[in-house]
Amino acid sequence: MIDRTRFLDIVREAGRMAHARWPGAGHALKSWDKTPGDPVSEADLEVDRFLRRELGALLPSAAWLSEESVDDVKAVTKRTVDA
């Protein structure tokens, strides 16, 4: 069973991280195209790493599937229903 309080804390922190890096929040947002028309920013990658680490610790049996990272083989070979 997932610790829902911890889950919500993680998601809220990810939101705070993204908001803090939003243009106009006092930071210049560095971004580039992964491929033409497919942008990514430092904030995207930072939030992705945070979520992967924290959610992975919360539910280690789950796979990680993200637009910003290489596919985890478990994401296509296993279905986790521990929630």
d(CA 35, CA 40): 9
0.75 surpassed by pTM: yes
Cα→Cα distances 22→10, 16, 62, 73, Å = 19, 10, 29, 32
Residue 78 binned pLDDT confidence (cut-offs 50, 70, 90): low
Predicted confidence (pLDDT) per residue in 14-46, tens digit: 999 988 887 766 667 788 788 898 888 888 999
Cα→Cα distances 15→18, 37, 56, 74, Å = 5, 24, 17, 26
